Structure 1
Amino acid sequence: MKKYKKFSILFLFMMLPICSVYALTLEEAVNKTLKNNFYLQSKQKEVNSKKYEIKAASAAKYPSLFFSATYTLLDEKKTQPFTTPFFSEKITMSEKEYFDIFTGVKINLYTGGLISSNIKTKKLEYESSKSILSEEQLKIIFKTKKAYLDILRLYSSKKIAEDYVKSLTSHLNDTKLMYDQGLVPYIDILQTEVKLSEAKQKLTTITNNIKVAKSHLSTLMGEKLNDNYHVESLNYNIPNKLPVDQLYNIAEKNRPILQSLKTQIKVADQIITATKSQFKPKIYLIGGYKYSDMLEDINPKGNFLIQAGISFNLDWNKPFKETEARKEIKYAIIKNRENLKLKVLLEVKKAIEDLNSAKENLKAAKDAVTKAKEYHRILNLKYKEGLANNSDLLDAKAMLTDALMREKNAYYNIIEKYFAIEKAIGKELR
């Protein structure tokens, strides 16, 4: 029984590394990035701050409480002579020390559109910040997908490199047997061992690159450096032809950065309205309590009061110039959006052309693999018949290995370029 327990415990410890490795899908990677990426979290906090700015601007619609209290100490009581034909005396104008207190509520009845414009401005800035967040999400999602594909590329390269090492190992064993039989010179063994050593070094490099690529993906997902997981393979059916004009329209409609600038134009309009409010009077109502003991003989010292007021202030031509400045900013945003729209459309076009190039490159890579396989097959037959030397056969094996790696890389390039189109238009096509 004790032996059985020891075996169970040992088995569990042996299984721990296996159980800790998990399979990660592309969808899971993207969802983790959207949830945990620290950069996106910081951008989300910036969006959240805009909500509070809306509430802060809205507070101006409601009554505001105020309170002020002052204590004054003079060097002496202030008096003023008061003379008549019958008598003359000094009238106290201010006690040597006194208190002034004023507290109450102020209500803005009319501000010339300043308050409503400020509220609308903050709401629009909030919408703009959400669009900017969406744009940043597009970029991070594309980086996540690319990082995921990079791991798959390395997986494929590792498998091909492992097969290459196995092939060279097998060939080395055959070469040694042939050498023992006196069929090949010793230099063939040395040459094969050198090629095998190079292949193992390349395999080691690829294996280490996989660890780095996985850690890179984990950082995008907001996790600690981790390479103890697998990613699942992808199988995408990329359309042979994409509706270019339709993609342009989708990009103009869905690309968040364009939506943000469109909203910023509306923000500029509201700022212009707020600036124009300087041309209009401000009407307010105050209700409160005022206390002063500046004059000791005057009673009552405190009074409740209601005060209606109007104020108007025009600093020469300052409001006019500020309004014109805001208009210029609006026109600048309009032109910037037009410029950015062209850049977005160019990005879409480039992504489409890159996808077309990737498709052609895959065709060429497949053709190269077919020819490399045939070349290797013929060289292998000739080598066995003594019509080709070891160097030719090793070159043929290396050529086939490179062709296979280029084919896999070309395949994943197609998927990457397809993801680039989705980023450019701001929408998934699947």
Structure 2
Amino acid sequence: MKRVTFGRLCVGLIGLLVAFSQLARAEETITLEEAVSRALKNNNYVKSRAYGVQASKEALNASTGAFFPRLSFVERYTRGDYNSYAVFTRLNQETLTFSNFLNAGTVSNFYTGVSLEMPIFVPGLFVARDMKQVSFLSSSKEFERFKEEIVFTVFTTYLAVLKTKAVQELAAKSVDEARELHRVAKAKVARGMGLHSDELRAFVYLKEKEAFLIKTENDLYVARMGLSLLLSEDNLYDVAPVTSLKTSILPPLDEALAESLKNRADYVSDEYQAKNASHNLSLQRSRFYPRLHLDGTYGRDSQHNPLGAEGDGWLGGIGFRWDIFDKTLFDDISKARFEEMKSKEYLAQRKREIAFQIKESYRRVDEAKRRLDVAVEAVAQAEESFRLIKLRYENNLSTMVELLDAEKALVQAKSNAIIFQSECFEAVGRTLFSAGLLLSHLPGTK
């Protein structure tokens, strides 16, 4: 019995330790810098794109390898009694004589061969290599912009966790305040100085705030889940306040516009793709040029075993091919020319679009700052008004309706301040993202 009791006690202690460890992990606090760093390191989408860049690099290596000679080995077994096959096979085996010339019979043969093929003059190979190199550079820039997108998503999700956490804390305080209002109203009714309708209003208001608290708690949990998803982790994290992100980190608007085309990795990637469109036109034109190849073969024939050498020989030569006329060449050149024009027009519009995004984001930053200042003033005024109205209500100089209206106004003002603070941070991050400066200016990305 003692052993059973001791064993159960051990199991219970282990269970408690596991529960406490999971609780500690769930409440681990993470900073914005750590969240960004972990996302860039662990996010599966980032890893997937990184492998794509490596694949593009290997494609470049493969295009360079086309200039090297190709060496192949072949071992082939044949058997037959066709006169032409039998005679020439015996001839290669050096077993053809006057006695079997007219009736070679059934012949078996093991052929062993080594072949070499190498391009000497193939203009298309040079253009193809240049295209693969440009494609690799384009994919590298695409990957850089994708990392910026992931970082910006982590940033906005982190802010969402902060915002929902602040709203949840505000909701909890509102419940406490509503509970206090209900207590005061109930006490006044008990003293014969209040109305039962005021007590009912306070009770309904309390239940509204409790219901809202339930929603904010779930919103906070879902926001933490979203952050963990971006980090490709299963743990839920608490977040630390953002203190290092201010509007002062933004460069002047003129500087951001001047450097945007160089800093925006997606635009640089589009430039590389436009360059590839020009290379494609050169590739199609290169098909008009002749092509020159070198090839050679060394072979052995044996009627008894593989790799035998009853007869051997070599053959080498140079191949020349020139497509003098092919209607599809002209059509492909026209198509490549239009693709080049298409890419140029696309780049021109992209320049305008990027400039618009940067100008808009700077105006949104100014808007967010001004709205935050207004919200802070509203909170200060609402707190003072609520304090006075509550004092008047306790002295029977105000009604419950006035008090609840003041409480609602105060909660709304605080909620607006929380939202506008988050929007101000997000506007700064979006401006950095629009200017292509997020990876170089946001903490945790260097």
Range of TM-score over shorter length? 0.7 to 0.9
On the 8 A contact 1:278/1:314 being kept in 2, the answer is no
1:42 alignment counterpart: 48
Q: 1:321 to 1:15 in 2, by over 3 A?
A: closer
**3-state DSSP of counterpart to 1:320:** helix
Structure 1 residue ranges, 4+ long, deviating more than 4 angstroms after superposition: 8-15, 67-76, 91-102, 290-293
Q: How do residues 176-195 of structure 1 correspond to structure 2 at under 5 angstroms? A: 176-195=186-205
Deviation at 1:67, TM superposition (A): 5.0
Structure 2 match to 1:216? 226
Query: By how many angstroms is 1:116 displaced?
Result: 1.9
SS of 1:65's equivalent? Answer: strand
Residue identity matched to 1:30: V
Give deviations 1:255-284, integer Å, cap 9, x for gaps.
111100111122223323322222222222
1:133 to 121, 128, 143: 143
Aligned residues: 407
Contact 2:81 2:105 in 1 (8 A): no
Q: Which residue of 1 aligns with 2:24?
A: 19
2:115 aligned partner: 104
Q: Which runs of 5+ in 2 are unaligned?
A: 1-5, 86-100, 303-309
Structure 2 SS opposite 1:239:
helix
Q: How does 1:356-375 map to 2 (within 5 A)?
A: 356-375=366-385
**Aligned position for 2:273:** 264
Do the aligned residues in 1 keep the contact of 2:164 with 2:220 (CA within 8 Å)?
Answer: yes
Match of 2:287, SS state, is helix
Give me the whole-angstrom Cα distance separating, in 1, the residues matched to 2:131 and 2:160: 43
Letter in 2 for 1:310: F
Identity %: 22
The DSSP-based 3-state class of the residue aligned with 2:71 is strand
TM-score normalised per structure 2: 0.83
Range moving further from structure 2, 67-76 or 145-154: 67-76
Q: Does 1:277 align with 2:292?
A: no
Distance 1:352 1:95 in 2: 91
- Structure 2 CA distance for partners of 1:14 and 1:240, relative to 1, 3 Å: closer
Could you report, residue by residue, the CA deviation over 1:302-354 in whole angstroms, capped at 9, with x for unpaired residues?
A: 42122123221234343233223222212211211111221121111221122
- The equivalent position to 2:62 in structure 1, one of 56, 79, 89, is 56
Q: Is residue 2:174 matched to residue 1:168? A: no
Conserved 8 A contact 1:292-1:301: yes
* Structure 2 CA distance for partners of 1:42 and 1:169, relative to 1, 3 Å: same
User: Deviation at 1:128?
Assistant: 0.4
Query: Which is worse superposed, 47-56 or 314-323?
Result: 314-323
Report deviation, 1:237: 2.8
Following superposition, the deviation at residue 301 of structure 1 comes to: 6.0
Residues 215/363 of structure 1: CA separation in 2 closer, same or farther (3 Å cut) = same
SS in 2 for 1:279: coil
The 1-side partners of 2:29 and 2:386 are apart by 36
Which residue of the partner structure matches residue 248 of structure 1?
257
SS at match of 2:380: helix
Measured in 2, the distance between the counterparts of 1:356 and 1:94 equals 97
Q: Secondary structure at the match of 1:404?
A: helix
8 Å CA contact 2:81–2:104 kept in 1: the answer is no
Q: Which of the residues 287, 293, 296 maps onto 1:287?
A: 296
Structure 1 residue 373 displacement after superposition? 2.0
- Report which stretch shifted further, 57-66 or 376-385: 376-385
The CA deviation string for residues 19-57 of structure 1, in whole angstroms up to 9 with x for no partner, is 322110111111111122222222222111112111211
> Structure 1's 92 and 271: CA in aligned 2 closer, same or farther, altered over 3 A?
farther
Partner of 2:238: 230
Q: Distance in 2 between matches of 1:93 and 1:291?
A: 23
Residue in structure 2 matched with residue 424 of structure 1 by the alignment:
434
Would you say the 8 A contact 2:138–2:273 is kept in 1? Answer: yes
Please tell me whether the aligned partners of residues 78 and 96 of structure 1 are also in contact (alpha carbons under 8 angstroms).
Answer: no
Q: Contact conserved, 1:78 with 1:92, CA < 8 A, in 2? A: no
1:408 matches 2:413: no
Could you say what the CA RMSD is over the residues aligned between the two structures, in angstroms?
3.1
* 1:241–1:13 Cα change, 3 Å: closer
Of the candidates 298, 301, 308, which is equivalent to residue 318 of structure 2? 308
User: Any idea what the Cα deviations from partners look like across 1:170-195, whole Å, max 9, x if unmatched?
Assistant: 22222222211111022222211111
Shift of 1:78: 5.9
Contact residue 163 and residue 422 of structure 2 kept, 8 A: yes
In structure 1, the residue corresponding to 2:296 is in which secondary structure?
A: strand
The answer for the alignment partner of 2:207 in structure 1 is: 197
Match 2:163 to one of 145, 153, 176: 153
Match in the other structure for 1:297: none
Structure 2 distance, partners of 1:383, 1:199, is: 21
Distance 2:370 2:364 in 1: 10
Q: Per the alignment, in what secondary structure is the counterpart of residue 313 of structure 1? A: coil
| Residue 94 of structure 1: how far off its partner (Å) | 10
